[in-house]
A and B are shown apart, each in its own frame.
Chain A
Amino acid sequence: MERNAQHAFDAEEVMAYLDGELEARRAAELAAHLVSCSECQEVAQGFRALSERMLSFEVERPSVGMNEKVLAALDAGKSAKASGAKDLAVHKGWKWRGIFSHPRAWAFAGAVIVLAILIIGIPRKGETRLEAKRRALSGLSSDYKSWLSKEGPAATRSDKNVYQTSTETRETDALVPEAAPGPAPPALAGDELKAPENVGPMIVQTASLTILATNYEEASAAIEKLAAAHGGYVEKLDAKSQTGNARELTASLRIPTKQLDGFLADVRKLGHVEQETRENEEVSDQYVDLQARLKSARATEQRLIELLGTRTGKLQDVLEAERELARIRGEIESMQGQGALLVHRVNYATVQVDLNEEYRQVLGSGTASTGMKIRNAAVQGFANLEEGAVALLVFLFAVGPSLLFWLAILLVPGWFVWKRFRVRARS
């Protein structure tokens, strides 16, 4: 196909002319030229022969099955445009496969995963920081507590040496009431609270029991009596008795701390103990703080009284001082009230008793008619359905986004890996 450089038309133009791709004026010129130029005729003949030769690369016709599938998809698409999800997936598949066969795509996916882990990890880190802070604070408070115990006068400590100051030992259940027969609550001396030095660690105790009673009547009657016998009282009592159901009694009792163990031992005898919890909360800090504030308020009060008694001044100043005195007294009273309450909480443990009847189902004991029962059941059923649907929706909204996120992160690359694997296995 070497051509003379001086020739009017080069072989590429002849080719373009044969392909019908030469612009009209040039094509007309070449057509005229071809008539007379044997060299160009030869070139043109070469191209034609090549095209003919290439046509010998034939392929068979497609099968009829192809028509059916495509036309079926066409009809399905017409009836519901969105329903061709699978077909779309088929189409999308090659695109995505194309994307994920690229190494850069994998690098990007990896970066996304690392970023996601970092994002999820950062709040956790913050949390641990918070926890460390909390630990530091609790360390501080225990230091303060040990300081309290050390700074307390030796005489007091030898008198009331029964108290454990370390939080660990206090938290163990057995030690509190047995080794120490109840913390000595600071008593009110007139309208004054006792000095903090005389106070050991103050512990508010709470206990809670769930009892299954065979003899419900006896047990429920006994609770109040037991409380009274141990010097305590009933704070709240709630008894439920529904037809067709086991009866139950919920009682909130206040028992002198020293009597707590004896009382609990007696209550346990009322039936089978299903659950029992004990909690001890230390309130020394609160109490010490309260007393310090009270002391300072008292000092201010004293100074104001002295001022009013000894100095003379303007009427306005006197009135101002009187107002301040009234305010300080109000504060003192409020603090005294708080202190008394705290002392009471320490002196009297709170005991929560849940008494359940061991119930024997009796046939036909219900009062409701059959019709009413069915109606109630239907209403209940509908309510359950509604609740279930709402719960499902709530769950989907709560979990859905993160679930989708992780599915996208984990499953999509996995799916492509599997696809590639499968294709490789096939080929």
Chain B
Amino acid sequence: MNSDDQLILEFQRGAREAFVELFERYREPIYGFFRRRLEHPARAEELAQECFLALLQNVQRYEPRAGFRSYLYGIAIHMVAAERRKAGREVAENEKLDSRAVEGNAAENSDAGIWVRKALGQLEQSEREILMLREYEQLSYGEIAAVLRMPVNTVRSRLFRARAALKNQLLPVK
């Protein structure tokens, strides 16, 4: 099986199937990325779509520097940030994440899911982002560092802090 980086380079050279393969691989992860960060499923889907369209339009400008996953999630992170700014939500982000978990998505999530969302909502934003990229998007420290443009050591220490904080909230103290 070809790696993501090989596929995107093949698509740059005009291989349609390469993009289809990449799309198949990342369709659900990218949707999940937006879905976990946004309130409305429809908006999440729209942004996921736009994310792939942006990839499609800018494929000729792609340079294999930090790897395809960093590139793709980099686009996605920008889109989420823009979406939040646009809606003027940044200030009330924590409360929103918290409240919408309980109100909006109760039916879709298990009880445990709701608690996780709520606990995530308590975290500081950059720590929460690092933790989510690690746990849900399965990015390596290096990839997270590339996406968020920070040193790898910072990623590691913040990830540790985030996990410690979340553990305190979610897991019973022994």
Q: Residues of A with Cβ closer than 8 Å to B?
A: 1, 11-12, 15-16, 19-21, 46-47, 49-51, 53-63, 65-67, 69-71, 73-75, 77-78, 84, 87-88, 90-91, 94-95, 97-98, 101, 419-420, 423-424, 427
Residues of chain B with a CB closer than 8 A to A67's CB: 23, 27
The reply to whether B167 and A51 contact each other, CB–CB distance below 8 Å, is no
The reply to whether A15 and B166 contact each other, CB–CB distance below 8 Å, is no
Using an 8 Å CB-CB cutoff, how does the interface string of B114-135 with A read, 1 for contact, 0 for none? 0011001000000000000011
Residues of B6-44 contacting chain A, CB below 8 A? 14, 16, 19-20, 23, 27-28, 31-32, 35-36, 41
Q: In the complex, what distance in Å separates the CA atom of A54 from the CA atom of B120?
A: 9
Q: Residues of B with Cβ closer than 8 Å to A?
A: 14, 16, 19-20, 23, 27-28, 31-32, 35-36, 41, 45, 48-50, 52-54, 56-58, 78-79, 81-83, 85-88, 108-110, 112-113, 116-117, 120, 134-136, 140-141, 156-157, 159-160, 163-164, 166-167, 170-171
**For the complex, would chain A's binding face be called helix, strand, loop or mixed by DSSP majority?**
helix
CB < 8 Å neighbour of B36 from A16, A46, A57: A57
Q: In the complex, what distance in Å separates the CA atom of A15 from the CA atom of B78?
A: 28
**For the complex, would chain B's binding face be called helix, strand, loop or mixed by DSSP majority?**
helix
CB < 8 Å neighbour of B87 from A1, A58, A73, A424: A424
Q: In the complex, what distance in Å separates the CA atom of A77 from the CA atom of B52?
A: 13
Q: In the complex, what distance in Å separates the CA atom of A375 from the CA atom of B104?
A: 75
CB < 8 Å neighbour of A66 from B19, B49, B120: B49
Residues of chain B with a CB closer than 8 A to A75's CB: 16
The reply to whether A90 and B56 contact each other, CB–CB distance below 8 Å, is no
Residues of chain B with a CB closer than 8 A to A55's CB: 135
The reply to whether A53 and B112 contact each other, CB–CB distance below 8 Å, is yes
The reply to whether B116 and A56 contact each other, CB–CB distance below 8 Å, is yes
Residues of chain B with a CB closer than 8 A to A90's CB: 50, 53-54
The reply to whether A21 and B57 contact each other, CB–CB distance below 8 Å, is no
The reply to whether B57 and A59 contact each other, CB–CB distance below 8 Å, is no
Residues of chain A with a CB closer than 8 A to B36's CB: 57, 59
